[in-house]
Amino acid sequence: MEQQHLLNLVEEHGSPLYVYDANVIEAQYKRMANAFSSVDNLRINYAVKANTNLAILKVLKSLGSGVDAVSIQEVQLCLKAGFTTEQIFYTPSGISFEEVEKAVDLGVQITLDNLSILERFGNTYPDIPVCLRINPHVMAGGNHKISVGHIDSKFGISIYQIKNIKEVIAKTGTIINGIHMHTGSDIYNIDAFVQATEILLDVVKEFEHIEFVDFGSGFKVPYKEGDNETNIERMGEQISERFNQFCVEYGKDLTLIFEPGKFLVSASGNLLTQVNVVKPTPNIVFVGVDSGLNHLIRPMMYDAYHHITNVTNSNDSEQKVYSVVGYICENDTFGHNRKMNKVSEGDILRIHNAGAYSFSMSSNYNSRYRTAEVMTYKGKDYLIRERETFEDLLKNQVEITL
């Protein structure tokens, strides 16, 4: 996106502002579909939690995507966006049986990740097929907080508990129609993914009514120049060949499912924020902006790197080193010791790769408002979320008289 275009959007809609380029989302979706084009039955289910805005969901629906929802509220958002129940896969963790029953009422594909709920589900709904989330016990991912397939993870049923699963099935008559895994996020090591794939396919052999295999996602995207990323084309070749071979072994054409979130939407997003103050100290020059961890918590929560550039001063050859910090009463540092074009108060900074797990993880901490959101697609700009107001902070509070 051109610098002047971004500045124009800030002038129109204010700062801070999330801006998404949906053309990037479309390109990433097509790239993934092409990478696995040799698989006859491929299904891409967008991981809704990455970015839940209805406009983003509608773009992905138009491209042919299904969705992976982790809460009943995400299921309802997907229905609101126009997805059919057949396009929605519900993959929660640690939820109540009452929420599972709501998903049954809505008619979506359900994935379960623990034995007690599986047994209760089988006793209550013996005629409804269900998918199982398996923990492959593979350590993968860019940060321990987003590595979810290791032996001590809360997610999935251990591969060592297959016998227990079969005992539940024998008692309840439950039909298992899918096997699912998700090992973590920011995985660029294809070997780790291939290792988990073989484990998952071995699990599939244990069940006779499988219709689909869900490999999850977690593909690494680059956050700066020279950064590692998943070679999705090479992975597509390796996984597709192995999956097609396995379908022959299994004696049935299965559907291969991936549920990318960050891979599809991360690079599309930008957080634009205005410089409030340039504050020199003996060791550091701080750039304080009108945003904080309430809008983008990934750098503070995951030590995630987001490239930062000066949109207002994009052509200046003079570069200096700054630490970009937020206005929250915490150590909310977006970037430490970053070299960028000279920054002045009032400049607009661009925090790149903020399309995934950014607005969707935002909050009202310090009673700050959530930002507006804008999407640009095929030459048009759309306001897709209005900025919050003071009335929004009070909306669900109940005043009492003391």
Residue 250 labeled ligand binder: no
Residue 234 labeled ligand binder: no
CA pair distance 336, 325, nearest whole angstrom: 8
What's the angle, vertex CA 79, arms to CA 77 and CA 84, rounded to 5? 145
Q: How far is CA 297 from CA 63, 143, 158, 291, in A?
A: 29, 15, 31, 11
Contact 138, 151 (CB under 8 A): no
Residue 298 labeled ligand binder: yes
Residue 330 labeled ligand binder: yes
Decide if 78 is catalytic: no
Give the chain's count of helices (H) and strands (E): 12, 18
* Type of residue at 237: E
What are 110's two structure tokens? 């359900």
Task: State the alpha helices, DSSP H only, in 266-376.
Answer: 298-302
In our burial notation (b when 16+ CB lie closer than 10 A, e otherwise), range 212-251 reads: bbbbbbbbbbbbeeeeeebebeebbeebbeebeebbeeee
Strand partners, 269: 20
Distance of CA 8 to the CA centre of its chain: 28
Strand partners, 322: 338
Strand partners, 157: 134
Residue 43 labeled ligand binder: no
Count CA within 13 A, CB hemisphere, residue 88: 26
CA pair distance 248, 40, nearest whole angstrom: 13
- Identify the H or E element spanning 237: helix 232-250
CA pair distance 177, 173, nearest whole angstrom: 13
The residues that are catalytic are 329
Residues contributing to the annotated binding site for substrate: 298, 302, 330, 357
Residues contributing to the annotated binding site for pyridoxal 5'-phosphate: 218, 357
